[in-house]
Amino acid sequence: MNKLTPSYQRHRFPSEIISHAVWLYHRFCLSFREVEELLAERGITVTDESVRQWCQEFGPDYARKLKERQGRLGDTWHVDEVFVTIQGQRQYLWRAVDQDGDVMDILVQPRRNQRAAERFFRCLLKGQGGEPRWLVTDKLRSYDAAHRTIMPSVYHLNHAYANNHAEVSHEPTRQQERAMRGFRSSDQAQRSLTLHGLTQNLLRLGRHLLQAVNYRLLRTQAFRVWQDAVCA
């Protein structure tokens, strides 16, 4: 057993079990009770409430460390928004992916007007450290207005079907929303979906494009990055 890091002190279970439970939840869009059952099959008795608390406590730190290791992504930004219902209120989940389908950032906001679009663009610029070559969106007018204000020199494309990358990227969110039976708050959705996207980026390796030996090598490297990030 590895020596526990300070962040895992005062927890009955070792870091390997805690980090593995969080990984299962975010990698496969499982519910907390499904994670509990998978651990029980391995002889590890925990409750679904413990899994929920682990995701809430350690998830933001895992996400921060994974994002530091991820670095800057592609130079074509596909941006789209989708509504989510939280406690009976409609919220908008803004998401950006690059040309390879990797999630760059998400932001949950109550509006989808120009101000909301500008705020999301600023988050993207801060996180990526610079402007893209291409910005691809749908025909929502908020994007045009925010584009002219925040990064007018970037070429903006909003033709029909040009933004399929971003629209398809919402599918895992809907799966996780169903598994959770809805998000409890905007903060919870922000935390959960951020780590979910980073985990998918790490392990979405394009298996159909690789030989088996190369795929296994990249998968082993991805697992090593996860272990380093969670200090397990």
Under the phi-then-psi rule, with left for phi > 0, alpha for psi from -120 to 50, and beta for the rest, what region is 29? left
Check whether residue 164 and residue 96 sit in a common domain.
yes
Q: For 66-124, how does the pLDDT look when each residue is reduced to its tens digit (9 = 90+)?
A: 988 887 888 999 999 999 988 888 999 999 999 988 999 999 999 999 999 999 999 99
Check whether residue 81 and residue 62 sit in a common domain.
no
Check whether residue 118 and residue 28 sit in a common domain.
no
What pTM did the predictor assign? 0.85
Q: Say how many domains are in the chain.
A: 2
- Quickly count: other Cβ atoms within 10 Å of residue 148's Cβ: 11
Instruction: List Cα–Cα distances, 100 to 74, 104, 155, 160, 205, in angstroms.
Output: 7, 11, 18, 19, 11
What pLDDT is attached to residue 173?
A: 83
Check whether residue 165 and residue 100 sit in a common domain.
yes
Mean pLDDT of successive 10-residue stretches along the chain, which has 232 residues: 60 92 91 94 94 93 90 89 89 92 92 95 92 93 95 91 83 81 87 90 83 91 92 72
Check whether residue 48 and residue 81 sit in a common domain.
no
> Could you give the CA distance from residue 190 to residue 176 in angstroms, rounded to a whole number?
13
Check whether residue 17 and residue 65 sit in a common domain.
yes
What pLDDT is attached to residue 232?
A: 61
171: domain CATH number? 3.30.420.10
Domain range for 16 is 6-70+202-230
Question: Six-digit token pair at 11?
Answer: 């927890």
Residue 189 domain-assigned? no
Helix (H) or strand (E) holding 141: helix 141-150
Check whether residue 80 and residue 65 sit in a common domain.
no
